Chains A and B, each alone.
Chain A
Amino acid sequence: MGKKEIYPIVLGIFILGLMRGPALGSEPIRIGYLQSDIHQLACWVALEKGFYKKQGVDVKLAGIFRAGPEEMSAFAAGALDMGYVGEAPATTAVANGMARVRILAQVNTEGSAIVVREKANIKTMNDLRGKRVAVPGHSTVQDFLLRKAMAKWNIPMNEINITVLKPPEMINALRTKQIDAFIAWEPYPAKAQTMGVGRVLLYSSDIWKNHPCCVLVADQRFLASRPAEARRMVAAHVEATDFIDNNPEEAGRIAVKYTGMDPESVRLAMQNVNYTYQLSIEGEKEYVRFLVGLKYIHVKDIDAFTRNFICQDILKELVKK
């Protein structure tokens, strides 16, 4: 091979190396989940019990995130193939053209709560007027729920001071009176209770019954190039979700390991979460409508958006079996 032939080869390898995108063939599947978010227990169960291996897929944990929007940024950067994430941040990212993912299955419904200080004189949503409430981030499910609650109780948007805090900091901020309330995913509300720092003002089911919360999403390029593996990931997820229903004790132990929290908080937390893989089209539309109302996103055709966003085929096939 003379010099002339080397150049195109080197150039080709260089360009190949620059290309992002799904790994070729036998590369492990990169997944992500939210830190200590007990909604995503199915993922931990699947990891611990080897359900992914059982399905014949090689999985690599490529990120643990402090809140949904951070995980969506990772998708935007092409760093994840599939992930467990909140439906609201996923919707925002896709609607704003940042990440190209599709929802393949539900992960849970409900499972958040608004927590106030144990001894505070706050009995209803209305008592939160003029107070400061912390959310894990803008356009998270919890941010969404808080504003939905405000709308439900007719509290104007500017009458509650919404502050962004990462959930690990919320309990301490509540205790030291930096904030008057927080809304977070389980097990943080449970932990606040077992620590004697706070009590629940409202469960998320009180705000919106059966509201969808976390979803299992897949990067579109991954989905297009490795559909068989994507299907097997969903199958593992279904098996893990059933496992939680049938083996709550063992699932609880796995939750303790991954959240680093005590068994009592974990047990209390799991009571507030409904683990299911059934998709909710109406639920997603509700998210889109609300996010548009908040001016976080602009979506003209909500039905079309939802149809493109949620992929029902894989789940339907699996459940039929």
Chain B
Amino acid sequence: MKFERYILPVFLLFLWQLLSYVGVIPSYLLPSPIRIIFGFKDLMFVGMPPEHLLYDHARYSLYRVAYGFGIACLVGIPLGLIMGWSERIRALIGPLIELVRPIPPLAWIPIAILWFGIGIKSAAFIIFLGTFFPILLNTISGVVAINPIFLDAARSLNAKEKDIFFKVLIPGSIPSIFLGMRIGMGIGWMTLVAAEFTGVKEGYGLGYMIMTARDIQRPDEIIAGMLVIGIIGLFINWAFGALESKIVRWR
């Protein structure tokens, strides 16, 4: 029965509310579920900082992530296809990629501020760094892992190198590319809050909203904000999955 899976979480919620109510869990450490719900209401209608509503914060954050993610795709997918195809290029660029990859995106924040200022570009840059590498690496592996028999079959049908690239390599690596995009998007969304610490000129963003809730000492809004971020992240992941099953019907 489907409703069985909800028994435990609902019970825990009740317990939490009860413990908060009797004071066992102090409100300055962890607000009660009901307070968090009210915090959520405040985020939506009063705003944090006041006048800056949740909906607008979400819009800006989604825009920043889309920006960073979009550029990561535009750079990562073609580069990945080329690097997958040519061993020479892989050997040439590979070491540089391996050098930069382990640097956590957040470590780039001071440089990002210097290069891009405190607006959307610097947040998008941090997000770009987080999403780029999974996309690149999965694209490369998608190409490299293509069964050689498809290359033979294509050649036996008179395909030239360009035909192979466009008719075999690209369609064949699409599942891997999607996987890379999905992983990258997940990382990008997670990096969002910290990326917005670079300074948010526009005054909007979910990370900024949580920071401000911290400044104004509203832990109920902090947690409500965190939940919103989590839910949006979940939704994005689901959307990617749905998109993938529409586009890749041959699995």
Seen from chain A, the residues whose Cβ lies within 8 Å of a Cβ on chain B are: 67, 69, 72-73, 76, 89, 92-93, 96-99, 132, 137-140, 157-158, 161-165, 169, 173, 176, 178-179, 294-297
Contact A138 B201 (CB under 8 A): no
Cα distance, A67 to B215, chains bound together (Å): 9
Q: List 13 A-B contacts (CB under 8 A).
A: A76-B28, A89-B215, A92-B215, A96-B216, A157-B51, A161-B201, A162-B203, A163-B118, A164-B200, A164-B208, A165-B199, A178-B117, A294-B50
Within the complex, the shortest CB–CB distance from B58 to chain A, in Å, comes to 19
Residue among B113, B208, B216 making CB contact with A296, cutoff 8 Å: B216
Q: Interface on B for A, CB 8 Å cutoff? A: 27-28, 46, 49-51, 113, 117-119, 199-201, 203, 208, 211-212, 214-219
What are the residues of chain A within 8 A of B119 when measuring CB–CB? 178
In the assembled complex, the Cα of A99 lies from the Cα of B214 at a distance in Å of 12
B219 contact set on A, CB distance < 8 A = 98
CB-nearest residue of chain A relative to B114?
A: A172
Set of chain B residues within 8 Å of A132, measured between Cβ atoms: 201
- Give Cα A69 to B118, complex, Å: 21
A178 interface neighbour in B50, B118, B218, Cβ under 8 Å: B118
Q: How far is the CB of B53 from chain A (nearest CB, A)?
A: 13
> In the bound complex, what is the Cα–Cα distance between A169 and B216 (angstroms)?
21
> Which one, B27, B203, B208, B216, contacts A69 given CB within 8 A?
B216
Q: Given A138-B49, A169-B199, answer yes or no on A93-B117 (Cβ-Cβ < 8 Å).
A: no
A144 to chain B, nearest CB (A): 12
Quick check: A139 and B51 within 8 Å, CB to CB? no
Q: Give Cα A162–Cα B204 distance, bound, in whole angstroms.
A: 11
* CB neighbours of A96 from chain B (8 A): 216-218
**Secondary structure call for the B interface:** loop
**Residue on A with the closest CB to B215?**
A69
Which residue of B is nearest A295, CB measured?
A: B50
Hey, which chain B residues are within 8 Å of A297, CB to CB?
A: 216
- For residue A138, which residue of chain B has the nearest CB? B215
Using CB atoms, name the residue of chain B closest to A293.
B50
Apart from A98-B28, A139-B217, A169-B199, list 20 A-B contacts with CB within 8 A: A69-B215, A69-B217, A89-B215, A96-B216, A97-B27, A97-B28, A99-B28, A99-B217, A138-B49, A138-B212, A162-B203, A163-B201, A164-B208, A164-B215, A169-B113, A173-B118, A294-B50, A295-B46, A296-B49, A296-B50
How far in angstroms is the closest Cβ of chain B from A114?
18
CA distance in complex: A96, B31 (Å): 12
Q: Residue of B at shortest CB range from A98?
A: B217
Known: A138-B49, A157-B51, A295-B50. Is A178-B201 also a contact (CB below 8 A)?
yes
- Top 6 closest pairs, chain A to chain B, by CB: A69-B215, A98-B217, A295-B50, A96-B217, A138-B215, A178-B117
A296 CA to B50 CA, complexed, in Å: 7
Task: Write out the residue numbers on chain B whose beta carbons fall within 8 Å of the beta carbon of A179.
Answer: 118, 201
Whole-angstrom CA separation of A271 from B90 in the bound complex: 62
Q: CA separation between A169 and B122, bound complex, in Å?
A: 14
In the complex, A253 Cα to B119 Cα: how many Å? 38
Q: State the CA gap A56–B212 with chains docked (Å).
A: 39
Question: How many angstroms from the CA of A21 to the CA of B50 in the assembled complex?
Answer: 33
Q: Do residues B217 and A72 form an inter-chain contact, with CB atoms below 8 A? A: yes
Taking CB atoms, residues of chain A closer than 8 Å to B117 are 173, 176, 178
- Tell me the complex Cα distance, A138–B217, Å: 10
* Candidate in B49, B199, B201, B216 with the most chain A CB atoms within 10 angstroms: B216
CA distance A140 to B212 in the complex (A): 11
Asked whether B218 lies within 8 Å of A161 as measured between CB atoms, the reply is: no
B203 and A161 form a contact (CB under 8 A): yes
The answer to whether A92 touches B217 (Cβ under 8 A) is yes
- State A98–B219 Cα separation when bound (angstroms): 8
Cα–Cα, bound, A96→B51 (Å): 19
Write the nearest CB–CB distance from A305 to chain B, whole angstroms.
15
Distance in Å from the Cβ of B106 to the closest Cβ of chain A? 16
Q: Which residues of B contact A89 (CB under 8 A)?
A: 215
Q: Are B118 and A73 in contact (CB under 8 A)?
A: no
- Given A173-B117, A295-B46, A295-B50: A92 in contact with B216 (beta carbons within 8 A): yes
B214 near A73: Cβ-Cβ < 8 Å: yes
Known contacts A165-B118, A169-B113, A173-B118; A139 and B216 CB within 8 A of each other:
yes
